[in-house]
Amino acid sequence: MERIQVGVEKNSYPIYIGEDLLSNFLGEIKDSSKFMLITDTNIERIYGSQIQEQMGHLDLYKYVVCAGEESKNIQTVIEIISEMMKYQFSRHDKIIAFGGGVIGDLAGFTASVYMRGISFIQIPTTLLSQVDSSVGGKTGVNMPQGKNMVGTFYQPEIVIIDTTVLKSLPLRELISGIGEVIKYGIMEDYLLFKYIEKNLDMVLGIDQQVITSIVKNCCEIKARIVAKDEKENNIRKNLNLGHTLAHALEAITEYKTYTHGEAVLIGIYHESKIAKQLGLIEEEYYQEIVQCIEKLGISVEISMYSSEYCLELMCKDKKNRNEKISFILPAGKGEVKEVFLTKEEISLLLLGNQQESFN
């Protein structure tokens, strides 16, 4: 089992990574608190009885939400809180987030507001949540007006990453997680990028050694960044590589067409094209990036979306400055740079000569 320590301003917490941690770790927890385990219907179906068996010695309650982004809303938070009040959860009791990023964000947010904040444990079950969302303390729920519009920075007490659970993950969700892994590689660690490229088949086949090493590598990068900039005032922004376009694509398709990771892959693909045209990366490296993404077999075509609407959505990005849109772009191997572009510049750089096909 690997251990990484995340040091943030007010506290520090461990991330444990390894195989079969559900079986080998949870049974060892000795704690007299009440636990509210929050999970979704898919995970409950696959792991419900195993969890019950491993955690049966604890004072355990369970709240199962419908799988999917739709559950990540304030109404679900209210329902969970009502349930916790019914069972007289106190400030000393705990929440466990057992699931993907949806569950982590929802449960983390609930923990941060219940009685002004109670402890919570992250047990992420998707690749995306293991390498990204379970670490760093961003929690939140969606509003009809927009994604993650209500949220907090609230760190977990501990993160337990069992890479064995990825075996039951649908291929599409696995590829989605690879999107965030490639992001880390391009952003800070060229060797990680090459490692994924070279071992893609092993990753897709959930080779435990390869997956564990990748998850550890990504968590180390995220822990380092979060320790330097917990509230995203500077360097944490780099994690938004590929995300300016990704967020616009997710919104334009009403979060129905792409998973978050797929949108990030498409974002990285097209934003790398901008970086190449701005002279931030060489042709050869650009080809490495696009070929790696193409190998995943997702469609990177965006010409069917309205460029006007897409640009309008990008204008809402929190990182924008003086009416210019912020992009975190690849700038050399394992490096990124924040660049501000006008709508006109983006149209030209993204569309090149084919403007008429994207209107």
Ligand X SMILES: NC(=O)c1ccc[n+]([C@@H]2O[C@H](COP(=O)([O-])OP(=O)(O)OC[C@H]3O[C@@H](n4cnc5c(N)ncnc54)[C@H](O)[C@@H]3O)[C@@H](O)[C@H]2O)c1
Q: Provide the pairing of β-strand 158-162 with 119-124.
A: parallel
Q: Which one of the spans 11-19, 74-82, 100-108, 285-293 is the region binding ligand X (CB under 6 A)?
A: 100-108
Nearer to ligand X, 169 or 296 (CB): 169
Nearer to ligand X, 169 or 245 (CB): 169
Under the binding rule (CB under 6 A), the answer on residue 232 touching ligand X is no
Number of residues counted as binding ligand X (CB under 6 A): 30
Q: Let me know: does 37 contact 60? Beta carbons within 8 Å.
A: yes
Nearer to ligand X, 133 or 244 (CB): 133
Sheet holding 158-162, edge to edge: 2-7, 12-18, 158-162, 119-124, 94-99, 34-40, 59-65
Within 47-76, the residues that bind ligand X by CB under 6 A are: 67-69, 72
Q: Let me know: does 184 contact 217? Beta carbons within 8 Å.
A: yes
In the complex, the smallest distance separating the C-beta of residue 191 from ligand X, rounded to whole angstroms, is: 23
Under the binding rule (CB under 6 A), the answer on residue 133 touching ligand X is yes
Name the token pair of 161: 């990453």
Fill in the DSSP letter of residue 133.
I
CB-based contacts of 250: which residues, under 8 Å, 6+ apart? 147, 258, 260, 263
The C-alpha R_g of the chain, in whole angstroms, comes to 20
Q: Which one of the spans 58-66, 93-101, 312-320, 334-342 is the region binding ligand X (CB under 6 A)?
A: 93-101
From 38, 84, 112, 132, residue interacting with ligand X (rule: CB under 6 A):
132
Nearer to ligand X, 186 or 281 (CB): 186
From 36, 43, 55, 219, residue interacting with ligand X (rule: CB under 6 A):
43
3-class DSSP assignment, residue 17: strand
Q: Which one of the spans 20-28, 164-172, 226-234, 295-303 is the region binding ligand X (CB under 6 A)?
A: 164-172
Under the binding rule (CB under 6 A), the answer on residue 218 touching ligand X is no
Within 252-271, the residues that bind ligand X by CB under 6 A are: 259-260
Q: Which one of the spans 29-37, 39-47, 316-324, 330-338 is the region binding ligand X (CB under 6 A)?
A: 39-47
d(CA 248, CA 310): 6
- The gap from C-alpha 83 to its chain's centroid, in whole angstroms, comes to 27
Give the CA-trace dihedral at 77, 133, 118, 12, to 10 degrees: -170
Under the binding rule (CB under 6 A), the answer on residue 176 touching ligand X is yes
d(CA 317, CA 108): 24
Under the binding rule (CB under 6 A), the answer on residue 46 touching ligand X is yes
* Torsion sign across C-alpha atoms 278, 284, 285, 286: positive
* Torsion sign across C-alpha atoms 28, 30, 46, 132: negative
Under the binding rule (CB under 6 A), the answer on residue 302 touching ligand X is no
Q: 102-131 mask for ligand X (x: CB under 6 A)?
A: xx-x-------------------xx-xx--
Phi-psi label, residue 220: left if phi above 0, alpha if psi -120 to 50, beta otherwise? alpha
In the complex, the smallest distance separating the C-beta of residue 136 from ligand X, rounded to whole angstroms, is: 5
From 17, 76, 136, 155, residue interacting with ligand X (rule: CB under 6 A):
136
Interface residues with ligand X (CB under 6 A)? 40, 42-43, 46, 67-69, 72, 99-103, 105, 125-126, 128-129, 132-133, 136, 138, 148, 165, 168-169, 173, 176, 259-260
